[in-house]
Chains A and B, each alone.
Chain A
Amino acid sequence: MDLNDTPEQAAYRAEVRAWLEQNASQAPTTRGRGDEEGAVAAHRAWQRRLAEAGYVGVTWPAEHGGQGKGPLHQVVINQEIARAGVPGILDAIGVGMLGPTIIAHGTDEQKQRYLAPMLHADEVWCQLFSEPAAGSDLAGIQSRARQEEDGSWRLSGQKVWTTNAQFASYGLLLARTDADAHKHKGLTMFIVPMDAEGVTIRPLRQISGEPEFNEVFFDDVRLEPGSEVGPVNGGWGVALTTLMFERLTIGAGSEGMGYRADRFAAAIASDPVAAKDPEVRARFGELATELLALRFTGYRLLTAISRGQIPGPEAGMGKITAVNGAIAAGDLIADVLGPEALDPDSEWSYLISFLPGLKSAGGTEEILRNTVGERVLGLPPEPRLDKGIPFSELRAKERQEVAS
């Protein structure tokens, strides 16, 4: 059992660290949440600088602008960036998930056109999957794309929880292209220009007041022929690729999502009465157990990834541990510090506000537990009413049920 770098990784780490030391002064100083133009421009420039140094998309094949390195190299970069206290790349979604999806399923033309600008943050991307009526049940989406005679498409519908939509150039969008097929079989993935006519982007404010996400409306938007990524009506397979890369990206960044026991320890230790209080210690010890378990489960996951294994659904349990551990930590810290912890400028106030929503992000905890129970433990599924029937019939049934 060895958590140390191999000599090669150690050399790589030293290189990355040195570069960051020399270039950290060029990094933006804020996380740039929200869509202030200046902040976005600064983050774009920072990603461009990292890309020019070869530190963006390191796991991408070299022929598409990456370095063809393994996932552990990406982990080294993530760790060194965190250590240096500088922001990561602006378009982690594009580079981590959407670009690799295009690499896996796109045409040569699409790869030529889109990958290099994505890598350099000339064009930022967003993921257009979830809808108001289809989050966990992604295959239940209703955004509709109809093909015209000339091969172009007309897209109508709505997407929600879209990070970075407000400054994205393109989105990768899952739409229904055949409503008479079963729900998983009539879907197609598209590249959508976010400045096309008929696209409307509206920010969604979260509990904290910050607009982290957006909703995006498509009103008869025209898509050029060749906007499809992968086969027509074969979009579900493409979506699964994206979700797989999402799990890999989360796995590579899993050193806590910022939820580390020692970060929370510092806040409590600053209060000498709290640090000796048995109730505080019991609560802290329990949540620290969870967060430490998260970190070392992450290392087991990375070991598996580095051996070429794709994380399975059990990897989702890490999210349950992380979110609930962080919730317990936020509650404890605010109990210790008092109302001051809820001051709008306090990091704890932001954490506390952000976490309830995070429970649902990337799949609700309930669905996650269902999936693990069925696909990992092999427990029988609950009866489902949506399999084996055309999607159009399914929607009609649901409307009837609601009406009655």
Chain B
Amino acid sequence: MNFDLSDEQVLLREAARDAFSRVRTVEAAREALEGGALPDLWSTAQQAGWTGLLIDEQHGGAGLGAIDAMLVLAEAGRVLASVPLLGHLPATAILNAGGLDDETMRKLAAGELRAAYVAARPGDDVDPAWTAEPRSGRRRAPAPEIARGDEGLATVNGSVAWVPDAVGADVLVVVGVEAGRPVAVALGASAEGVSVEAASGVYDATRPLAHVTLENACGRVLGAGEEELRRAWFLAHALIAAESLGAVEECLERSVAYAKERYTFGRPIGSYQAVKHALTEVLRRQENTRSLLYYAGWAYDDKPDEFAAAASAARAAGGAALDFAAREVISVHGGIGATWEHDAPLFFRRAQLSRRLLGGTGDAVDRLAGELLTGSAA
């Protein structure tokens, strides 16, 4: 029984925290709301080796797993860092199953090329169809249609909305369907028929999103099978959950610090039970999220049948935890917590947008229910 991080993983986390601490990402998050440029953290990601985390060592990657990716994303989330790993890492996990030449894989591992995962949601016990993110509303869009041609190529037709990190990516890894069965195709972002339209009016400026439209776009069919494509969806969930965990930790730290120093009616506000209990609840949800992230990380390698449930549970917990923590950090600070100049609203914006990406937190909750009710998970 060793359900804890290894020494290497602890070092990875510390190195990530250190790397992000050198950049004023939280300030930049606010400035970006008014049109300021976000710091470019991709070179940081390259130097740290994060770009090749999920690519195998023969292509110059680190050959690591979900838990390692989650540790890096948690540190990014803690400081609202905008680094396009949520798009890049699941895409590289799919690419690692084969389909592109060695040189391209090496460049992706080194970060000389950047990939973006254009997701499709696996079917479930209620609806077996693979679907894509719609522009709006509850009805899911159909996944892009893939038509295989000769020499390992295929044409792709369809749209996927709200794709993280597609803007500026070099390679789009699009998951679509062919006769209802999932297939992944790699497309050059500037290939004919590919349109990546940056989403405007975003609430969380640290999260570049795009609407991807494919009109007879031609790309290379990838080796990833249904299992790998299922796994990529849930990996993305786990990464969002990890980002959320980091942000929760930061919200809690700031809340506790303020609760100790702010006085009212002659004593620190943290001495009042209502405040104390709210912050204890943030802690409880934080640690529950951490446990589920560990479960997801362990399941990714050791219990693949449970990965969907584990990642969904992690996303459900992390999303709810961040919603709660972000509102608490505002409330604990009283009126000033709700001002533009304060940092707390930036975590609130992160919470608001994250909970609606890739099916949303609600979809993760439903997925967990479906997995357990059909006996697919332990």
Contacts and interface: CB of A to CB of B under 8 A. Distances in A.
Chain A complexes with chain B: yes
Nearest to A382: B271
Contacts of A2: 1-3, 298, 302
A1 B2 contact: yes
B284 A317 contact: yes
A244 interface: no
Residue of A285, A374, A380 with highest tally of chain B CB at under 10 A: A285
Given A317-B284, A369-B276, A372-B283, A293 B289 contact: yes
A280 B366 CA distance: 9
A293 B366 contact: no
Contact of B1 (A72, A297, A314, A366): A72
Interface stretch (A28-36, A159-167, A168-176, A300-308): A300-308
Contacts of B128: none
Interface string B279-291: 1110110011111
Nearest to B126: A276
Nearest to B297: A1
Contacts of A9: 1
Contact of B283 (A1, A366, A377): A377
Contact of B273 (A320, A378, A382): A382
Contacts of A297: 287-288, 291
A321 B3 contact: no
A134 interface: no
Nearest to A260: B378
A376 interface: yes
A197 B273 CA distance: 45
Interface stretch (B34-42, B158-166, B232-240, B369-377): B369-377
A282 interface: yes
A288 B313 contact: yes
Nearest to B5: A1
Contacts of A276: 125-126
B83 interface: no
B176 interface: no
A292 interface: yes
A377 B316 contact: no
Interface in B352-378: 362, 364-370, 372-375, 377-378
B294 interface: yes
B260 A275 contact: no
Question: Contact residue range for chain A?
Answer: 35 or more
B284 A296 contact: no
If over half of A's interface residues share one DSSP class (helix, strand or loop), that class is named, otherwise mixed; here it is helix
Nearest to A284: B369
Contacts of B268: 379-380
Given A276-B126, A317-B284, A369-B276, A289 B3 contact: no
Contacts of A284: 369, 372-373
Contact of A293 (B5, B280, B281, B288): B288
A320 B277 CA distance: 12
B169 to A, nearest CB: 31
Given A303-B1, A379-B279, A282 B291 contact: no
B27 to A, nearest CB: 27
Interface in B23-76: 67
A383 interface: yes
Interface in B297-330: 297-298, 302, 309-310, 312-313, 316-317, 320
Interface residues of B, number: 59
Given A286-B365, A292-B292, A300 B3 contact: yes
B91 to A, nearest CB: 25
B90 interface: no
Contact of A379 (B270, B294, B367): B270
B271 A302 contact: no
Contacts of B4: 1, 300, 303-304
B256 A3 contact: no
B287 A317 contact: yes
Nearest to B67: A1
Nearest to A71: B1
A389 to B, nearest CB: 20
Contacts of A241: none
B6 interface: yes
B283 A317 contact: yes
Interface string A222-263: 000000000000000000000000000000000000000110
Contacts of A289: 288, 292, 313, 316-317, 320, 365, 368
A286 B277 contact: no
Interface string A1-16: 1111100010000000
A114 interface: no
Nearest to A275: B373
B260 A286 contact: no
Contacts of B298: 1-3
19 contacts: A1-B298, A2-B298, A3-B298, A262-B378, A275-B374, A281-B366, A285-B312, A285-B366, A285-B369, A292-B368, A293-B317, A294-B288, A297-B288, A299-B3, A299-B291, A303-B2, A317-B280, A320-B284, A369-B280
Interface of A: 1-5, 9, 72, 75, 261-262, 265, 268-269, 275-276, 278, 280-282, 284-286, 288-290, 292-294, 296-297, 299-300, 302-304, 306, 314, 317, 320-321, 366, 369-370, 372-374, 376-383
6 closest pairs, A vs B, by CB? A293-B288, A285-B365, A373-B276, A285-B369, A281-B369, A379-B270
